[in-house]
Amino acid sequence: MVTAEGLNGGYWAIRKALELIEKNKKFKVTVLGEPQLGKRGLYPSVSTKHMDKQVCLMTHFISLCDGNTPLLNIAERLNVPAWDLYNMIDNLLSHNLIIEIK
């Protein structure tokens, strides 16, 4: 017998999987060298343990955006779930630091 909780869990698992398939694109850095995160408002003015980890994750992500490696492989190398990178990717795209490779 299927419970409402089990059905809801299955729905969200499939939804996350489909979303990952749609977002599993390749990205390429648009700047040469290390991007200036501070002038784009991407570097925090107050240092906290959480923000330090986010900045570190962002710089590592940027370093792996070579235009050949899909998001899922980057997430595996960074040892984080790919869906944890979605907001950061949107932020980097909005600041033109990375582009999607079709």
Structural domain total, the chain = 1
Q: What is the pLDDT of residue 35?
A: 77
Domain containing 16 equals: 4-101
11 vs 64: CA distance, rounded Å: 32
Q: Residue 96 sits in a domain of what CATH number? A: 1.10.10
> pLDDT tens across 12-66, in order?
999 999 999 999 999 999 988 777 776 777 777 666 666 678 888 999 999 999 9
82 vs 72: CA distance, rounded Å: 6
Q: What is the pLDDT of residue 88?
A: 93
Residue with tokens 């923000």: 51
Global pTM reads 0.81
26 vs 70: CA distance, rounded Å: 4
3-state SS track over 45-101: CCCCHHHHHHHHHHHHHHHHCEEEEEHHHHHHHHCCCHHHHHHHHHHHHHCCCEEEE
Amino acid of residue 17: A
> pLDDT tens across 62-89, in order?
999 999 999 999 999 999 999 999 999 9
